[in-house]
Structure formats: C-alpha cells, structure tokens
Amino acid sequence: MHEMSLAEGVLRIIEAQAREQDFTRVKTVRLELGQLSHAAPEALAFCYDAVVRGTVAEGSRLEIVRTPGQAQCLACDRTVALARRYDPCPHCGGHRLQVIAGEEMRVKELEVQ
C-alpha cells in the first residue's frame, strides 16, 4: 500500500530527528500533505499508527494539514489554484496544467517530550 511506505518515511524522519535532538518520546506530529497527493489521509493515519508501534513515536498523534494545489497553465501561462488533479484551468478552461505544488508530503513539526 502506498500509504504504508509514506508512513514508514515519516517514521524514518522522526527517528533521525530523535537521534539528532536526543528526545525519547513524540507527542504530536504535524504533517503537511498536498491536496493533490495520491495518499488518503485516513489510510495514512491508520498506517502511521501501525508502523510507530514500539518506536519513539508510539501513541503519538498524527495531525495532517492539507496544503493547496497549484499549477501552471500551459495555455494562458497563469499560476492557478488547483483543488483536484485534472481540473481545468479556472481562467481559460484549458486542460494542459503542470502541477507545481500540492503533491508533496512534509513533516512540519514534532512535539516531543
């Protein structure tokens, strides 16, 4: 499952931070997830709970913040907000859009003990 590998990626980031900053318990993880990402937040949260078992992040809360999608329209050359992949350009109705933001996933903040 795609979300499982993403959750494992999040855990690797947390564990690297734990080594670097010397903390032993994570309370909350704030994760930015682009609106155009293929990952489903519910599935990601479920997988996260499973992969953090027995680690510094066991029992922590995963807060997922959706970040907006953005694309460059190749027809009218504007940067437009994109709520869903394959939506047309809101200005010219064109379908040739190049996604420039909203696909990424990023650990924004860790609340630790």
Residues that bind Zn ion (CB under 5 A): 73, 75-76, 89, 91-92, 94
Query: Least distance in Å: CB of 66 to Zn ion?
Result: 23
Which ranges of 1-109 would DSSP assign to H, the alpha helix?
2-21, 41-51
Query: Least distance in Å: CB of 89 to Zn ion?
Result: 3
12 versus 91: smaller Cβ distance to Zn ion: 91
92 versus 105: smaller Cβ distance to Zn ion: 92
Query: Least distance in Å: CB of 33 to Zn ion?
Result: 26
Maximum Cα–Cα distance across the chain: 52
